């Protein structure tokens, strides 16, 4: 039998990449079209939180274009009518979330499991309610720098709003993390695409987001991809003798055996090479 590696680690992201970049945009407005087109060109991924009650094709995206526009990105719940959820009773909270989820699933053709809170407002009763509705994570508007994995996925904080300036702007902050070879974590930026239009500030869109793209040691992912990969990592089984690993999940998971990256394919048991 081949010698087993001395040390086996499970890096946080696929391919052993040390930073994950993810973004989140609310309300499903027509300015999303310009952002999605640029993201597709640059290789960035977005999560788009939609109110199914407002997909009118005027200020907001039309229901009929949701599936094609957001292909390759994530569509997530933002409730049907964008209320302050803590002001509703639990039945109405459930309807706002579940009716939105169902309407969006009818459009995109996959299970919708993510959410962003309208106005960023929630309380323990809202969280309890979401737990019953198959919502995996719910994004707030609070900021927490390296925000993953959250202790409460239904009160998930972001790294920063796209226009944040304290202590640095988004591209400045990202550049510092990239320059630090010991840093590993999630860089999660959120906003509204209409902010660039209302402020007549599309140059800022390019200034903020373009520098995030194209880095070889960054994983570009949607919000739900982060949670799915984290779940797959936690399911991975490494033999006590470190000679093999079994991946019971449906996603390939990257291991680091004596400093060498090894991908364990879904459903397979793979020998781990020693250095």
Task: Strand 253-257: give its sheet, edge to edge.
Answer: 8-9, 253-257, 260-264
Cis peptide before 161 (omega within 30 of 0): no
By beta-carbon distance, which residue lies closest to Zn ion?
26
Q: Which stretch binds Zn ion (CB under 5 A): 102-110, 117-125, 142-150, 258-266?
A: 117-125
Q: Are strands 253-257 and 8-9 parallel, antiparallel or unpaired?
A: antiparallel
* Per-residue x/- track, 118-147, Zn ion (CB under 5 A): x-----------------------------
Residue 26 engages Zn ion in binding (rule: CB under 5 A)? yes
Residue 100 engages Zn ion in binding (rule: CB under 5 A)? no
Q: Provide, rounded to whole angstroms, the least separation between the CB of residue 118 and Zn ion.
A: 5
* 22 phi, psi to nearest 5 deg: -140, 155
Residue number, 26 or 32, with CB nearest to Zn ion: 26
Residue number, 83 or 271, with CB nearest to Zn ion: 83
Q: Provide, rounded to whole angstroms, the least separation between the CB of residue 47 and Zn ion.
A: 13
Residue number, 118 or 191, with CB nearest to Zn ion: 118
The residues near 234 (Cβ < 8 Å, ≥ 6 apart) are none
- CB–CB of 72/44 below 8 Å? no
Q: Provide, rounded to whole angstroms, the least separation between the CB of residue 26 and Zn ion.
A: 4
Q: Which stretch binds Zn ion (CB under 5 A): 23-31, 64-72, 223-231, 262-270?
A: 23-31
Residue 27 engages Zn ion in binding (rule: CB under 5 A)? yes
Q: Which stretch binds Zn ion (CB under 5 A): 24-32, 193-201, 215-223, 258-266?
A: 24-32
Q: Provide, rounded to whole angstroms, the least separation between the CB of residue 183 and Zn ion.
A: 31
Residue 31 engages Zn ion in binding (rule: CB under 5 A)? no
Residue number, 16 or 118, with CB nearest to Zn ion: 118
Residue number, 22 or 247, with CB nearest to Zn ion: 22
Q: Which two tokens stand for residue 236?
A: 């991975």
Q: Provide, rounded to whole angstroms, the least separation between the CB of residue 96 and Zn ion.
A: 12
Residue number, 9 or 195, with CB nearest to Zn ion: 195
Q: Provide, rounded to whole angstroms, the least separation between the CB of residue 193 and Zn ion.
A: 12
Q: Give the residues lining the site for Zn ion (CB under 5 A).
A: 26-27, 118
């Amino acid at each position: 039998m081949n010698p087993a590696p001395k040390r086996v680690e499970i890096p946080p992201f696929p391919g052993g990449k040390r930073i994950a970049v993810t973004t989140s945009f609310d309300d499903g407005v027509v300015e999303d079209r310009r952002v999605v087109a640029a993201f597709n060109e640059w290789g960035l991924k977005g999560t788009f939180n939609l109110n199914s009650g407002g997909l009118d094709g005027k200020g907001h995206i039309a229901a009929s274009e949701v599936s094609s526009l957001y292909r390759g990105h994530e569509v997530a719940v933002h409730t049907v009518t964008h209320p302050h959820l803590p002001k509703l009773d639990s039945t109405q909270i459930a309807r706002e979330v579940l009716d939105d989820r169902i309407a969006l699933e009818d459009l995109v053709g996959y299970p919708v499991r993510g959410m962003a809170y309208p106005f960023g407002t929630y309380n323990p009763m809202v969280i309890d309610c979401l737990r019953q509705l198959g919502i995996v994570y719910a994004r707030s508007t609070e900021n927490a720098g390296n925000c993953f994995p959250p202790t409460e996925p239904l009160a998930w904080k972001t790294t920063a709003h796209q226009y944040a300036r304290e202590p640095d702007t988004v591209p400045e902050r990202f550049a510092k993390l990239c320059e630090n070879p010991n840093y590993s974590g999630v860089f999660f930026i959120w906003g509204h695409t209409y902010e660039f239009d209302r402020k007549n500030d599309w140059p800022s869109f390019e200034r903020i987001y373009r520098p995030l793209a194209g880095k070889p040691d960054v994983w570009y992912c949607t919000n739900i991809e982060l949670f799915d990969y984290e779940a797959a990592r936690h399911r991975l089984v490494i033999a006590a003798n470190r000679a093999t690993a079994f991946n019971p999940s449906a996603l390939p998971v990257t291991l680091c055996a004596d400093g060498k990256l090894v991908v364990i394919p879904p459903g397979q048991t793979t020998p781990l090479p020693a250095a």
